[in-house]
Structure 1
Amino acid sequence: MHHKAIIIGTGPAGLTAAIYLARANLSPLVIEGIQPGGQLTTTTEVDNFPGFPDGIMGPELMENMRNQALRFGANIVSGRVAGVDLSKRPFTLTLEDGGVLTADSVIISTGASAKKLGITGENENIGRGVSTCATCDGFFFRNKKIIVIGGGDTAMEEAQFLTRFASEVRVVHRRNELKASKIMQDHARGNQKVAWSLDRTPLEVISGPLGVTGLKVLNNATGEEEVLEADGIFLAIGHTPNTGFLGGQLPTDELGYLKVIPGTSQTTIPGVFACGDVQDRIYRQAITSAGSGCMAALDCERFLTEQVHREAVVQI
């Protein structure tokens, strides 16, 4: 089946793009992917999305955006894109169930997945004290003890940020040396609220009826296990952009994020756009994702309008 525009992914970026394209009477097809609604569906309360002074639950926010897109005529379907052919227009998308779709334009909003440790209690406590976003959830840990797991610049930055709220932020890293740049290390080490548990391997997230209570670690130097008390655990070991299905057809930066022309959502292939966390290695916020989804929709609409004009000139 052929469509003027197909949006891959239904996080804040994809659904915002769907709202704008649907309002432009372009009837976009939105393919939900493996996590309909994106990472916000695993978040409890969202306090920093404008327009909700009392906050809103992450799943509810995404359901509202989904219903808004449907209201204007977007078509949202379950499924996952297994591969694409972007070498010629119309573009071809192959679904995991064997279905084949074609499109004049494609918006990629597949997000980035936070890297996890794969330890016991980790997944079960996402939203119950385990978080992958300091700026999203730090506010909820006022005067509490927090653990940040990681040794790179992101971990140092998040540890520093979380000291605004927590009574103590303990950095846990499996090596005795940090990967972070010297200036980031110096800033973190100079903060009296930051404590250190280096050369320790995380083994298990400890929790009770109300959520996280600590982190079991292996002291690599002594071989002994110990439990570090904490009310919250923040994973700061990086993100992986969800671009595998593209087969390397679009250029990425050294971390795997899709490259776009600065100031736009346009990739190197005309008619293919990227928005949200799949192309954002810096901010990774719901509001910035939604904003980039709006950009992608407007860029896409402009591209399709220009295509119609070019075809009309050729026919004359």
Structure 2
Amino acid sequence: MATHKTRMLIIGSGPAGLSAAIYGARAMMEPIVVQGLQPGGQLTITTDVENYPGFRDVVQGPWLMQEMQAQAEHVGTRMMWDTIVRVDLEGGSPFRAYGDSGDIYEGDTLVIATGAQAKWLGVPGEMELGGKGVSACATCDGFFYRGKKVAVIGGGNTAVEEALYLTNHSDDVTLIHRRDSLRAERILQDRLFNHPKITVLWNQVVEGFEGDPLAGGLTHLSLKDRVTGQLSKFHCDGAFVAIGHAPSTELFKGQLPVDEGGYLIVEPGTPKTAIPGVFACGDVMDHTYRQAVTAAGTGCMAALDAERFVSGLSIDLHGHAEAAEAAE
């Protein structure tokens, strides 16, 4: 067992955590990144990335995260292969995090970049065809289904928004919902029902995704009617599971406030949490955009604010430097 001390402790190693590390290291904060159960975040399970700035051609998610990590290490970040199982934020800075390895991590500032995970149906074929016709992000992957037939599974705001977005790429979008009414806001429902490119299938449960991961990917969904029990096949080129996301905030329950969706609450326009010196960035605090580039942006913000916290300065929303009461 060992204790590792740093001016900036970062939990999570996706685009948000690694961007915070790059900026923190350049500010001589000597950051430590504890990588967690999924080093590299969700991009490590994303194959083709076509919307990250700076790349003319499609790049692979795992490669992109390897490059981010290499850059972070190059400028002075320490990467730790460990999983945080408990944090102690009481009493303010320095903050302590306890690893599954038994090691203790102590930071003058703490950057939380633990991300969020898409909720999945848990049916056969879902994981095997992930990235090969099955996705949980229309904004990320809808472009690959231009002119093709696609389905969206879900009935809340996320599902309706994904279906509407996909009409930018497809003329044949079907929303599949297990009930006979939607939970989405009325204004979104009106847009959905009035859109000529969208069809709704009611009372249908997806029991499986069918296709060959090695040859062509997804071919159809196996459906069951909740009312009649009738089984059917729905042929499509792409299927988007849109039943929500679960932010990884279990470590901070009872220590930091969260919203109704479980996302960490931050001061509007900043990564600042309710505890001075603790910052949240990426999908763990962003239930709206959930993109790699926006996560990286908030990671940069967290690092800049962490450096100001340590130096005894804060920047108000008008950009003026002032003494940070929290650092006194």
Decide: shared fold, TM above 0.5: yes
Question: 2-side partners of 1:236 and 1:216: how far apart?
Answer: 17
For residues 44-193 of structure 1, the aligned pairs below 5 Å read 44-88=47-91, 89-193=93-197
- Rounded to whole Å, the distance in 2 between the matches of 1:246 and 1:253 is 13
- 1:20 matched to 2:26: no
What is the CA distance between 1:159 and its match in structure 2?
0.3
| Alpha-carbon separation, structure 2, partners of 1:125 and 1:226 | 19
8 Å Cα contact 1:112/1:242 also seen in 2: yes
Distance in structure 1 (CA, Å) of the matches to 2:230 and 2:6? 59
Q: Is the 1:11–1:39 Cα contact (8 Å) retained in structure 2?
A: yes
Q: Give the deviation of 1:276 after TM superposition.
A: 0.3
Partner residue of 1:218 out of 194, 218, 224: 224
Distance 1:150 1:7 in 2: 34
Partners of 1:212 and 1:69 in 2: how far apart? 37
* 1:199-225 C-alpha deviation (Å, 9 max, x unpaired): 011100111222111110111121111
1:247 aligned onto 2:253 = yes
CA distance in 2, matches of 1:191, 1:236: 19
Partner SS state of residue 295, structure 2: helix
Residue by residue over 1:228-264, the C-alpha shift from the partner in whole angstroms, topping out at 9 and shown as x without a partner, is 0011110110001100011321001111111111121
Matching residue of 2:320: none
Residues in 1 aligned to 2:110 and 2:185: alpha-carbon distance in whole angstroms: 38
Q: What TM-score results when the alignment is normalised by the length of structure 1?
A: 0.95
Paired residue total: 311
Structure 2 residue matching 1:298: 3-state secondary structure: helix
Aligned residue number for residue 271 of structure 2: 265
How far apart in 2 are the matches of 1:248 and 1:226?
Answer: 46
- In the alignment, which residue of structure 1 is the partner of 2:46? 43
Preserved contact between residue 275 and residue 293 of structure 1 (Cα < 8 Å): yes
What corresponds to 1:3 in structure 2? 6
Which structure shows the higher helix fraction?
A: 1
Q: Give the alignment partner of residue 280 of structure 1, picking from 272, 277, 286.
A: 286
Work out the CA distance in 1 between the residues paired with 2:176 and 2:83: 36
Runs of at least 5 residues in structure 2 that lack an aligned partner in the other structure: 314-322
CA distances 1:39-71 after superposition (whole Å, capped 9, x unpaired) = 111111111111101121111111111000010
In 2, Cα distance between equivalents of 1:225 and 1:94 = 49
Q: Quick one: which amino acid aligns to residue 123 of structure 1?
A: M
SS of equivalent residue, structure 2 residue 287: coil
Q: Distance in 2 between matches of 1:216 and 1:169?
A: 17
Query: Among the aligned pairs, what percent are the same residue?
Result: 49
Shift of 1:87: 0.4
CA–CA distance in structure 1, aligned partners of residues 288 and 257 of structure 2: 18
Inter-partner Cα distance in structure 1 for 2:89 and 2:299: 20
Q: After TM superposition, where is structure 1 displaced by more than 2 Å over at least 4 residues in a row? A: none
State the SS of the aligned residue for 2:312. helix
Tell me whether 1:205 sits opposite 2:209 in the alignment: yes
Distance 1:196 1:188 in 2: 9
Structure 1 segments unaligned to the other structure (5+ residues): none
CA contact (8 A) 1:32 1:80 kept: yes
Secondary structure at the aligned position of 1:123 is classed as coil
Contact 1:83 1:247 in 2 (8 A): no
1:191 shift after superposition: 1.1
User: Is the partner of 2:227 in helix, strand or coil?
Assistant: coil
